[in-house]
């Protein structure tokens, strides 16, 4: 029989005060399913956006940074067993047959990847996320959390971690590379750690002095406050790779001139407005602009293993389930340093 579990749902789009405790139904185990007792769930800015304006299916149970313990597995599951420490990120299903899926890029599935919440699964059901006691997920989309990593620290890495690790891995960032990270918030503070542990020379490009000391703690070699033309002129042509982690409009022409010959500026923070630049900004250095969209299952496991080995961890603030509405407001007001994680025990 399907199982009823306690959860926290947003009942109305755009209304953070519409969160309420409820019960939802998780499916019976299929042969390739894993049942997970959720211990922690991170809050991502995209959770906030889904509740605020992007979501399509209400009531909605958000949450895509899930860390917990396996309680049961289907008859065909061989990689997991009860008691294993595991995580679930953004993805819970894909066709498994298209070139994207076969190359480990399930996020680009030609049939359409299935997101852990507010997404229509292949059987027609609408997915419900991690603000709940438990979840049932196809085994291919479950991640092993290394023993040396705490479950609470692992939760934000399942989105913020892979979002920043993936482009650094894709562009083979390592020793000898000069990397700039635009912004040092929920994504940026993890990006700094990954780039530094990969061996790069890392500079944070900020808008104020408030995070200079923290940038050094996270592994940055330098911190630059970018306020006027002179700041950009001084750093022109210095960086092999620039990772933009903030979802605000930039004067792209200013940042593009910071690239070295054949350097790359990559977006992981995605503004809602159209972005504009002058082609002459990349004509002189043959630079490139690209974007990166989370990561597939194998890269996510690679990221967790790398983070555990190199002690990369998010700076978290632990909250209770009833603190979620205020946490959403604080995220919009940039009042969190740097990631909220919900202790799900209050739902028991």
Q: What is the pLDDT of residue 132?
A: 98
- Return the SS3 of 257: coil
In a domain, 296, yes or no: no
* Cα 289 to the center of its chain, rounded Å: 21
Same domain, yes or no, for 103 and 7? yes
Name, in order, each residue with C-beta under 8 angstroms of 210's C-beta and a sequence gap of 6 or more: none
Same domain, yes or no, for 177 and 40? no
Q: How many helices (H) and strands (E) does the chain have?
A: 11, 17
Kindly tell me if the per-residue pLDDT of 70 is higher than 90.
yes
Kindly tell me if the per-residue pLDDT of 79 is higher than 80.
yes
In a domain, 282, yes or no: yes
Overall domain count for the chain = 2
Residue 181 sits at φ, ψ, to 5 deg, of -110, 120
Alpha carbons 328 and 323: distance in angstroms, whole number: 9
Quickly tell me which residue has 């913020």 as its tokens: 160
Q: Which of 276, 228, 267 is nearest to 246 (CA)?
A: 267
Q: What is the pLDDT of residue 346?
A: 85
- Return the SS3 of 39: strand
* Cα 14 to the center of its chain, rounded Å: 22
H-only helix segments in 14-125? 45-49, 99-102
Same domain, yes or no, for 144 and 179? no
For residue 263, the domain's CATH number is: 3.40.50.720
- For 154-178, write each residue's pLDDT tens digit: 999 999 999 999 999 999 999 999 9
Same domain, yes or no, for 276 and 210? yes
Kindly tell me if the per-residue pLDDT of 348 is higher than 80.
no
- For 299-326, write each residue's pLDDT tens digit: 999 999 999 999 999 999 999 999 999 9
Q: Which of 125, 76, 241, 238 is nearest to 172 (CA)?
A: 241
Q: What is the pLDDT of residue 60?
A: 98
Show the tokens assigned to 38. Answer: 């959720």
Kindly tell me if the per-residue pLDDT of 185 is higher than 90.
yes
- For 96-116, write each residue's pLDDT tens digit: 999 999 999 999 999 999 999
Kindly tell me if the per-residue pLDDT of 1 is higher than 80.
no
- Identify the bridge partners of residue 40 per DSSP, sorted by sequence position: 67, 343
Same domain, yes or no, for 9 and 144? yes
For residue 67, the domain's CATH number is: 3.90.180.10
Kindly tell me if the per-residue pLDDT of 77 is higher than 80.
yes
What share of the chain has pLDDT > 90, as a percent? 96
C-alpha dist (Å) from residue 40 to 116, 124, 225, 238, 316: 15, 27, 35, 40, 12
Same domain, yes or no, for 103 and 214? no
Quickly tell me which residue has 């979840």 as its tokens: 135
Alpha carbons 298 and 70: distance in angstroms, whole number: 19
Same domain, yes or no, for 140 and 7? yes
CA torsion 103→104→106→109, rounded to 10°?
A: 0
Average pLDDT, the chain: 96
- For 204-237, write each residue's pLDDT tens digit: 999 999 999 999 999 999 999 999 999 999 999 9
Same domain, yes or no, for 169 and 45? no
CA-based radius of gyration for the chain: 20
Q: What is the pLDDT of residue 336?
A: 93
Same domain, yes or no, for 58 and 128? yes
Same domain, yes or no, for 145 and 177? no
Same domain, yes or no, for 200 and 222? yes
| Residue 271, domain extent | 161-291
First to last CA, the chain: 20
CA torsion 266→270→276→279, rounded to 10°?
A: 10
Q: Is the peptide bond before 338 cis (omega within 30 degrees of 0)?
A: yes
H/E element, 162: helix 162-170
Name, in order, each residue with C-beta under 8 angstroms of 190's C-beta and a sequence gap of 6 or more: 156, 157, 160, 161, 164, 312, 314, 338
């Amino acid at each position: 029989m399907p199982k009823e579990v306690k959860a926290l749902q947003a009942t109305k789009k755009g209304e953070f005060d519409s969160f309420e405790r409820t019960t939802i139904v998780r499916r019976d185990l299929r042969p390739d399913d894993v049942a997970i007792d959720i211990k922690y769930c991170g809050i991502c800015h995209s959770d906030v956006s889904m509740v605020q304006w992007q979501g399509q299916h209400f009531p909605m149970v958000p949450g895509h940074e899930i860390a917990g313990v396996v309680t049961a597995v289907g008859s065909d599951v061989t990689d997991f067993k009860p008691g294993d420490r595991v995580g679930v990120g953004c993805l819970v299903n894909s066709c498994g047959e298209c070139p994207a899926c076969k190359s480990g890029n399930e996020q680009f599935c030609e049939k359409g990847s299935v997101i852990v919440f507010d997404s229509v699964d292949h059987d027609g059901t609408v997915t419900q996320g991690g603000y709940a006691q438990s979840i049932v997920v196809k085994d291919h989309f479950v991640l092993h959390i290394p023993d040396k990593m705490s479950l609470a620290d692992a939760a934000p890495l399942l989105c913020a971690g892979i979002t920043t690790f993936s482009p650094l891995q894709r562009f083979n960032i390592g020793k000898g590379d000069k990397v700039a990270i635009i912004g040092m918030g929920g994504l940026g503070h993890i990006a700094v750690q990954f780039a530094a542990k990969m061996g790069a020379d890392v500079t944070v490009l900020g808008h104020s002095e408030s995070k200079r000391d923290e940038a050094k703690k996270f592994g940055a070699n330098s911190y630059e406050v970018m306020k006027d033309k002179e700041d950009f002129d001084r750093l022109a042509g210095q960086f092999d790779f620039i990772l933009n982690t903030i979802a605000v409009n930039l004067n792209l022409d200013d940042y593009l001139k910071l690239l070295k010959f054949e350097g790359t500026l990559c977006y992981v923070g995605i503004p809602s407005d159209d972005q504009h630049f002058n082609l002459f900004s990349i004509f002189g250095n043959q630079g490139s602009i690209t974007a990166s969209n989370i990561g597939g299952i194998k890269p996510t496991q690679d990221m967790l293993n790398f983070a555990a080995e190199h002690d990369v961890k998010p700076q978290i603030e632990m909250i209770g389930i009833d603190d979620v509405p205020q946490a959403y407001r604080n995220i919009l007001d940039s009042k969190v340093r740097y990631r909220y994680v919900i202790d799900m025990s209050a739902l028991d």
